[in-house]
Amino acid sequence: MKFLRTIGLLNELLEVELTARKNATAEKGNHKLLSYIRSVEKISGKTVAWSLTLIGGTFLAILSDEYIHPDDKRFKLVYLLFLVGWGCIAKSIYHGMNISGRAAAADLHVDDRKLLATVFTDCNSDFDRQLKWFRYGLVVFGVWLVLYLCWWIFGVMPIKK
């Protein structure tokens, strides 16, 4: 009888140990997911900061009178590229804000692996979109800059008053 009781206690002890190990493994997995989500949030925040700097710089380019502006109305249409660029950068910022919100949600649900996996997937998708739209914005502003340089090199310069 004592022998059976001892075996029963050993069995319970092994079950408790296995449960503890499973929980520890799940916590490690949760920690890795949470760590990745925080990393993405950090890089995303830097991209948002660059985006805001880019928007500010382009506003200065339009409003500043420190550099030569074209007088030709046809070339001034090239400045409409700023609207496209701002739209791309705004979309990038939008996805960056989504990542921040999801990271906050992940912090609140550290124990829920299924929810963390969903947040992880959504953060990954938003991060891809954020970088895609940021690159599109850079390309648009790069095209504007190349056109401006072509005008500056080959065009007729207005006389500064």
Per-residue pLDDT of the chain (161 residues; tens, 9 = 90+): 554 565 555 455 445 554 544 444 445 668 888 889 899 999 999 999 999 999 999 888 888 877 777 777 778 888 899 999 999 999 999 999 999 999 998 888 888 888 888 999 999 999 999 999 999 999 999 999 999 888 888 877 666 65
For residue 39, being part of any structural domain is answered with: yes
| Domain total of the chain | 1
For residue 36, being part of any structural domain is answered with: yes
3-state secondary structure the chain: CHHHHHHHHHHHHHHHHHHHHHHHHHHHHHHHHHHHHHHHHHHHHHHHHHHHHHHHHHHHHHHCCCCCCCCCHHHHHHHHHHHHHHHHHHHHHHHHHHHHHHHHHHHHCCCCHHHHHHHHHHHHHHHHHHHHHHHHHHHHHHHHHHHHHHHHHHCCCCCCC
Residue-number span of the structural domain to which 118 is assigned? 2-154
For residue 22, being part of any structural domain is answered with: yes
For residue 160, being part of any structural domain is answered with: no
For residue 159, being part of any structural domain is answered with: no
pTM confidence score: 0.76
For residue 112, being part of any structural domain is answered with: yes
Asked whether the beta carbons of 62 and 79 are under 8 A apart, the reply is yes
